[in-house]
Chain A
């Protein structure tokens, strides 16, 4: 797994729960690495063990934990870069949703060896969508729920998100837009810089 993913998990744990919890997770996972370098590639196996250990140590169900992780990626001040890069996807939430198919390619454009699971948006009506995620990582759909819910907030929209289960490597998430201008969203200036 790309170090950026491992590093993001590490920062999620340390920013939200503290360094001591991370140390416990690393011990439980018997991970050979205690601090991940964002620009190095690690064995997928390590990432899986760290995720399992995180659930075990924190006592959270996997789905809840992955959703919190997705929320963290978009809404935590330390992850402002991620939020900004995602917001380049569209001026409105609907435009953003339609840009999701391109997300893995966009990510690869910036970091060629970072491979994201394939995702595809299916539009049922103007306000009802299903997001199909094809991921080896069990629970990737939950990460996307956290990400999308926070981004909806960011755009000032209100969306209902439901995980529709996993079959094989495919998970689907239903998205229902209740309100696209629910609240004043956070500003996004193209020229601003993430600090």
Chain B
């Protein structure tokens, strides 16, 4: 009867030898039948500590026992003992604790190894269902994270050229000013771009913009931020303390490259560029708007002087411009 109700039970005689073992428990020992073995040689009693002998065990009837198999995987099990019908005999029922998943795997147990009232199967079902649900959630999180990343990337870049957009540039410049770090700003306006667009069409114009973006990317450092802030307007942000003569050479290189003919289908597009440049100096307290206004003044001076050149901001330019 106990084999059905408690497939993991043991019956011990008064000397502590097994007289009967439940079928599932027998599966845990692969070295022959359990009948006749001494219980205390099969299991070590971890808790309560004081149990050393069969007499102790009999006194602990009804108490929750923590046991460990002395052999094999040294599996830990829980148990409870009850006094048996015969003089000095004990009936023990054992069960897997939280290590159930492990035990079921190691001993290849099946649904038939557990009593129908035992919740082990339900627990294993939940464990498996829960990990499947967790996996699905993990995947969802991964998908959401990459969508967010993609959306952020799109929000900060210019769709046509892949350069940063005005928002991204404003953000980076705002942060540099907030942190009071030195940097230089170049605004580059393309010259004759409108003419390309008007005479050769928008496809040619788009092609030119892509080529220009390539030139900027090639001629700037990785840390520099190149943004397209308008149809044919670009801003290059150069963190650090770039020297004026270095920037002068850089401007000349950019303009020289912009003036190289750009082939498009069987046509050739010719443009140039005007540049206005200024510096943000830490401690100056200058605002982003004021800085960009200086850049604008310098850019206007370049255009007025005949385009295809770079001008560095100087307060004297304002007087000249009026």
Contacts and interface: CB of A to CB of B under 8 A. Distances in A.
Contact of A191 (B104, B112, B122, B139): B104
Interface in B112-140: 112, 121-122, 124-126, 128-133, 136-137, 139-140
A39 B140 contact: yes
Interface stretch (A12-20, A68-76, A85-93): A85-93
Given A109-B129, A111-B133, A191 B140 contact: no
A118 interface: no
A190 interface: yes
Interface of A is mostly: loop
Contacts of A137: none
B101 interface: yes
Contacts of B133: 39, 110-111
Contacts of B106: 191
Interface string A56-83: 0000000000000000000000000100
Contacts of A190: 104, 109-111, 121, 124
A191 B140 CA distance: 26
Contacts of A38: 136, 139-140
Contact of A81 (B108, B109, B132): B132
A193 B140 contact: no
B132 A85 contact: yes
In this complex, which of A4, A88, A188 has the most chain B Cβ atoms within 10 angstroms of its Cβ? A88
A4 B136 contact: yes
B146 interface: no
Interface of B is mostly: helix
B136 A39 contact: yes
B50 interface: no
B143 interface: yes
B49 interface: no
A82 to B, nearest CB: 9
B105 interface: yes
A169 B63 CA distance: 53
Nearest to A187: B110
B128 A193 contact: yes
A189 interface: yes
A191 B105 contact: yes
Given A38-B139, A110-B126, A194-B128, 17 more contacts: A4-B136, A37-B140, A88-B122, A88-B124, A88-B125, A88-B128, A90-B111, A110-B125, A111-B133, A188-B110, A189-B105, A189-B108, A191-B101, A191-B106, A191-B108, A191-B124, A192-B105
29 contacts: A4-B136, A37-B143, A38-B136, A38-B139, A38-B140, A39-B133, A39-B140, A40-B140, A81-B128, A81-B132, A84-B128, A85-B125, A85-B128, A85-B129, A88-B124, A91-B111, A91-B112, A106-B125, A111-B133, A189-B105, A189-B110, A190-B109, A190-B111, A190-B124, A191-B101, A191-B109, A191-B124, A194-B128, A194-B132
Interface of B: 101-102, 104-106, 108-112, 121-122, 124-126, 128-133, 136-137, 139-140, 143
Interface of A: 4, 37-40, 81, 84-85, 88, 90-91, 106, 109-111, 188-194
